[in-house]
Structure 1
Amino acid sequence: MRSTNKAGFLSVTTSYTSNSASTIELKPSYNIPLVLVIAAIPLLLVQPWVGGAFALFGLFLMFQAVTLRLLFTATDLDIYRGDKLIRRFPYSEWQNWRIFWNSFPILFYFKEVKSIHFLPILFNPNTLKTCLEERCPRI
């Protein structure tokens, strides 16, 4: 809506809502689990125990990517399994965050007031980074 005020300046009013006010659910990314499972195949021939460990870890991460949901709300990062809230991380308690290896992001780190978290990137890394930059700028 456009209108002119008493001083003759044009004022424009919009109903735009910032993305930081909406809730965004991240889509899963199966890159890391697939790389681990594929790497396990030749390792099984050379070192069965190491190959088995890689395969099990890859399958575990695949299960986590399928069952977990990350939601960026206006005030928190929420982690759900199905419809059940598992953990809530309020942005107000965050001190810093970082995504390791931009070319192939594999690890997400963030530090809260009382704890440090390292998480494998099992969700779309581009959306993760965009949401983090909007909602919790680095300090």
Structure 2
Amino acid sequence: MTTTPTETTALETIELAPSYRLPIGTLLLGLAIGFLNIWVGGVIALFGIFLMIQAATLRLRFSPTDLDVYRGENRIRQFPYADWQNWEIFWQPVPILFYFKEIKSIHFVPVLFNPKTLRECLEQRCSPEL
């Protein structure tokens, strides 16, 4: 079930709804560039299709203690909030990239999820002052 942070408490798990804005935008950009250069446009369009598949299959779940990445019902990655040092969502007019830094690594994730809910969950569970 997909819920929003305003409907829940910090103790509940929130699954973000997918957003297809970035994949569709990338696909359309690839098609437009394809009129100028078929190879470059084709590569960008293929990347848009890849993002579309990822948006359809991946889910982010914010639990009380960590961010979990799921493919279907299988958890494929877990990121405990205690290890986070910083996070940022880049380009606010049209959020396209989510960055977070852990103690031992950094991560860049395309915004394939509802950006408003993503920001609300991050502010609620991982204060920007990390």
- Please report the TM-score for the alignment, with normalisation by the length of structure 1: 0.86
Per the alignment, residue 8 of structure 1 pairs with: none
Aligned-residue Cα RMSD (Å) equals 1.2
* Runs (5+) with no aligned partner, structure 1: 1-16
In structure 2, distance between residues paired with 1:18 and 1:51: 43
Show the counterpart of 1:23. 13
Which piece of structure 1 moves more, 37-46 or 93-102?
Answer: 37-46
| Cα shift readout 1:13-52 (whole Å, capped 9, x = no counterpart) | xxxx962111000000001110111111221121011100
> Once structures 1 and 2 are overlaid, which stretch shifts more, 88-97 or 32-41?
32-41
Displacement over 6 Å in runs of 4+: none
- Alpha-carbon distance between aligned partners in 2 of 1:18 and 1:119, rounded to the nearest angstrom: 25
Aligned to 2:108, the other structure's residue is in SS state strand
| Alignment match of 1:135 (pick from 109, 125, 129) | 125
Larger Rg: 1
Q: How many Å separate the matches in 2 of 1:68 and 1:42?
A: 27
**Aligned letter for 2:87?**
W
Matched with 1:120 is 110
Check 1:65–1:18 CA distance in 2 against 1; reply closer, same or farther (3 A cut).
Answer: closer
Partner SS, residue 88 of structure 2: strand
Residue matched to 1:88: 78
Name which structure has the greater RCO, CA cutoff 8 Å, separation 6+: 2
Q: Quick one: distance in 1 between partners of 2:109 and 2:8?
A: 27
Q: In structure 2, what residue type is equivalent to 1:62?
A: M
35-44 vs 91-100, greater mean Cα deviation: 35-44
The number of residues matched between the two structures is 123
The aligned counterpart of 1:72 is 62
* Greater Cα shift, 35-44 or 118-127: 35-44
Percent identical: 57
Q: Which runs of 5+ in 2 are unaligned?
A: 1-6
Specify which of 84, 88, 102 is matched with residue 98 of structure 1: 88
What CA distance in whole angstroms lies between the structure 1 residues aligned with 2:84 and 2:32?
41
Tell me the distance in 2 between the aligned counterparts of 1:124 and 1:61: 14
SS in 1 for 2:128: coil
Please give the TM-score of this superposition, normalised by the length of structure 2.
0.91
